[in-house]
Every structure is written in C-alpha cells, then in structure tokens.
Structure 1
Amino acid sequence: MISITTANNKKVYFASDQHLGAPTAEASFPREQRFVNWLNTIKKDAEAIFLLGDLFDFWFEYKTVVPKGFVRVLGKLAEIKDAGTPIYFFVGNHDLWMNDYFEKELNIPVFHSPQEFKINNKVFLIGHGDGLGPGDKGYKRMKKVFTFPLFKWMFRWLHPDLGVKLGQYMSVKNKMISGDEDAKFLGEDNEWLVQYCKKKLTQKHYDYFVFGHRHLPLEIKLKENSTYINLGDWIQYFTFGEFENETLSLKKD
C-alpha cells in the first residue's frame, strides 16, 4: 500500500474520463484546453494527482509508435511530474492497451487494476471501475478478448494508420464509453460499482472508494465511515475529486 501525507495547505486531486479525441480531435480540443487549464490551477497546491482512466478515447502502444496528438496534456503532465508532484494513472476501458509509455516518457506509474492507498490515515481503494461487480457480462467477455496477448499481437501487426483509425472508430461507436449516452443513476441496488464496494467492505474497511467509468458524479454513503465517490467525466460534468485534510469531496471545474 502506498502512503501519502499532505503538507500544510496541500491537497490530493482525482479526475477521470476526459475521452480526449472523441468524437473527433477537433471537437475534443476545447475539452483538452479546459483540462490543461485545470492542471495548471491545481499544480500549485497538489500533493498528488490521480488520473483514473479514459484520458484518451482510444490509445494503443505499438513498439515504436503511439497515437499522435494530445501534446498539450502530455506536456503539462510531464511538467508537473518533473516539478516533483506524484501522478498516478489507472487505465480505463479505452486506454487499456497502455503499456510503458507513460512510465518511460513521463515517469508516471500505470496501474491496470484497483489499488489501495493510504492518504492522511484514510484508506482508499482506487481504480477506473470497468468490469467490477456483478453483471456487465458482455463487456467482461469483450475485455478478456481485447486483453488476450494473441489479440494484441495480431492488432499490432496492423499498420498504425489503419489500426488507430479502426480503434478510434470502434471507440466512438460505443455510446456509453464515448459519452454519447446520458448516464442515469440506477439506484444503489442496480449500481454494479456500489455492489462491488459493499462486498469489499465485508472483507476490509475502506474510508473511500474512488472510481470513474460511469460518467456520472456520485457520492454515496455506504456506512457511517465509508463513502463511494464516482468522479463523473470531462464531457458533460467537468467534475473532479478534491481531498483536503481528511475529507474527499466532489468539485466542478
């Protein structure tokens, strides 16, 4: 478990689901600018920054090639990390083919599954959130195919001009994860991530569960001292998590 202690007047920030590149590079450019401006604002008092996946609407790392674009956000992340602020990245279902580019080029650790962190003596379970909990069996089967080594090896043999174009087309066509579908709260009993968090609480105490993926800002009290936070997105809501002292709250840019 990684431990973080904030200095005086310092905060920890969480953001997810920017989906840069969707539905087109031109259409997402204002969102990229807005996100970079937000990074510029928080870098002054950030003890650490957590990015919880789907930063890009499509991402695939060939051995020597990555999708072009996004230089402003990548440059800003490099600047913040080089200045000494830790950044932690969790892959989502749109950037699940991320390998070591962030680690080698930006010195940002990349996680492929939920991880435990201790921040100011509060225990967090943090991840993107896709494929967790009951249900969503279709996506879980699809994820197994997409992450199967043979499938990734075959896709890598496509020329990047074809592979990236195909991946971008498939990403945008998936309405839920490209942000085209209006996500609605389904009630605690039908929210798979809520059910996942409640089950985890039977095994161990967590003060905060922090996830993305749902494109819906949510703050749900699971127990008196345990809360589930969903970060929303940067397509419709432009929301983020801010942890100060011992309290995590949702904010809007």
Structure 2
Amino acid sequence: MPLSDGKKIYFASDQHFGAPTRELSFPREQKFVKWLDSVKTDAGVIFLLGDLFDFWFEYNTVVPKGFVRVLGKLAEIRDSGIPIYFFVGNHDLWMHNYFQEELNIPVYHDNQEYTFGGKTFLIGHGDGKGPGDKGYKRMKKVFTNPFSKWLYRWLHPDLGVKLAQYLSVKNKLISGDADVKFLGEDNEWLVLYAKRKLEKKHYDYFVFGHRHLPMKLSVGENSEYVNLGDWIGYFTYGVFDGETFELVEYKG
C-alpha cells in the first residue's frame, strides 16, 4: 500500500468495550472515540487488531446492543475515505459481515501481510499463535466450528449475549486471555512465533494485540515484534510514519 506524504498508519487493539460492565467501560469508549478524532487528521490507514468488544455475536438480524459512539465514529472516518481494517480477536471471533456491510470495513480472521514505505508487516490479533496455549487452541476450534455457531444462534439473543458476557469475564480458558505479566522473551509465545516466521521470510514488523502489554522487542536483524497493549490500563497504540514505528500512550 502506498503511504501519502504526511500520512501515518495507526494501530490499536484490545479495547474490550462492555467489560466488566457496559457502564464501567463507557468512559473508556468515550476516550477511544476522542483518540479516533485525534488521529483522523493525518491517518492514512487505521488497523484495529481485535477485541474491540468483550463479546460480539452476529445473529442474522441482531447484533449486540450499545457501542453506538464507537460504531458511529468508525463509520464517519470510513465514509471520509480513510481505510480501516479489522482483525477478529478471541472475544469477537464470532464477527461475520456486519462491519463489512454496514461500515465498509473489511474483517479478517487471520494474519495479513502488508508493505508500507518499503517495510513489510505481519499483522493480526495474535491469539492461538506460537507454541503452548493448547487448551485455548482446542477451545477455539470448537467455537469457530460452523456447527457450533449454528447451534448458538438458536439461543435467544437476551440469553446468548448474557451467557457469553458472563463466560468472557469468568472463564479465562474460554476467553483465551493470557497472563498479563511479561514472561521473558524465551516464554512469550508471540515472540517465539515471530522468530519462527523469520526462518522462512523476513518481516520488518510483527504487530499483534492479545497480550495486553505494550512491547517492542527485537526478534531478528532489522525485525521487531510489537504488541499494542490495551485500552483498559495502558491506553497505548502504534503509529508508523513511513520510516519508524512507535508505541504511544494516549493521554487525551
């Protein structure tokens, strides 16, 4: 993708709107909307790397109630001509075509490769990648199975959404949330995943979410792993200006 002069690429992940309750997450939603307003002035592309919501399920005619300020702001930015790309996370993995049809925002269920300013990126949410985490990987196969999704659709939305929100907060195996403490480079699964990918192909940047820890680590010669942190305790985002990638805390 070409990057116009003066334009930047922005990355954000793991907002988890709706957790632990919709009321308590509302100030974070307002803050994120302010951030979107602040970056739209020079954004060439915006990447959202998953877990925008703590739970999301699309029935054929129903989507979860709420989050209208975020959805409206995304629609406004996209209508202005700025591309937005959404990567499904483990909390919104049942996202289907609502974003594409209503907001004109493509939705991806796995990593994607991009080139900006001569720099190559591998971008995704990050859940289920790398060694270990076998319990969650098995659970994810169950949840992403078309038959499982078909069965869940038969639950009334009032029951289905309430049940999923409860499990999302209470059951860490189901949600796939990892330990938020830094595990060391030899034990960080996404660091190991990046190093393994480099054995076959060079990437300048591996950009992921999921870990909730802002990190920027060298994983090879001229190659960095970046984790974007979250919008719960860190309020961090990534920005690439065509030459360098930075992690920034939003204080607005």
Report the TM-score, using the length of structure 2 for normalisation: 0.96
User: Does the CA contact (< 8 Å) of 2:114 and 2:122 recur in 1?
Assistant: yes
Which residue of the partner structure matches residue 34 of structure 1?
Answer: 31
Which residue of the partner structure matches residue 93 of structure 2?
Answer: 96
Please report how far the alpha carbon of residue 174 of structure 1 lies from its aligned counterpart in structure 2 after TM superposition: 3.4
Which residue of the partner structure matches residue 237 of structure 1?
Answer: 234
User: Does the CA contact (< 8 Å) of 1:15 and 1:239 recur in 2?
Assistant: yes
In the alignment, structure 1 residue 65 sits paired with structure 2 residue 58: no
Find the aligned partners of 1:86 and 1:203 in 2 and give their Cα distance: 30
Find the aligned partners of 1:109 and 1:184 in 2 and give their Cα distance: 32
Give the aligned residue type for 1:41. S
Distance 1:33 1:179, change over 3 A: farther
User: Does the CA contact (< 8 Å) of 2:215 and 2:227 recur in 1?
Assistant: yes
User: Does the CA contact (< 8 Å) of 2:12 and 2:49 recur in 1?
Assistant: yes
Task: Give the counterpart of 2:132 among 130, 135, 149.
Answer: 135
For structure 2, which runs of at least 5 residues remain unmatched after alignment? none
Aligned pair count?
250
Which residue of the partner structure matches residue 113 of structure 1?
Answer: 110
Which residue of the partner structure matches residue 227 of structure 1?
Answer: 224
Worse-matched range after superposition: 81-90 or 165-174? 165-174
Specify the SS of the correspondent of 1:204: coil
Task: Give the counterpart of 1:149 among 146, 150, 153.
Answer: 146
Find the aligned partners of 1:176 and 1:43 in 2 and give their Cα distance: 36
Specify the SS of the correspondent of 1:188: coil
Give the aligned residue type for 1:10. K
Find the aligned partners of 1:138 and 1:72 in 2 and give their Cα distance: 35
CA RMSD of aligned residues (A): 1.6
Please report how far the alpha carbon of residue 179 of structure 1 lies from its aligned counterpart in structure 2 after TM superposition: 11
Distance 1:234 1:206, change over 3 A: same
Runs of 4+ in 1 over 3 A off after TM superposition: 174-182
Which residue of the partner structure matches residue 163 of structure 1?
Answer: 160
Worse-matched range after superposition: 169-178 or 119-128? 169-178
Which residue of the partner structure matches residue 206 of structure 2?
Answer: 209
User: Does the CA contact (< 8 Å) of 2:135 and 2:173 recur in 1?
Assistant: no
Which residue of the partner structure matches residue 191 of structure 2?
Answer: 194
Which residue of the partner structure matches residue 75 of structure 2?
Answer: 78
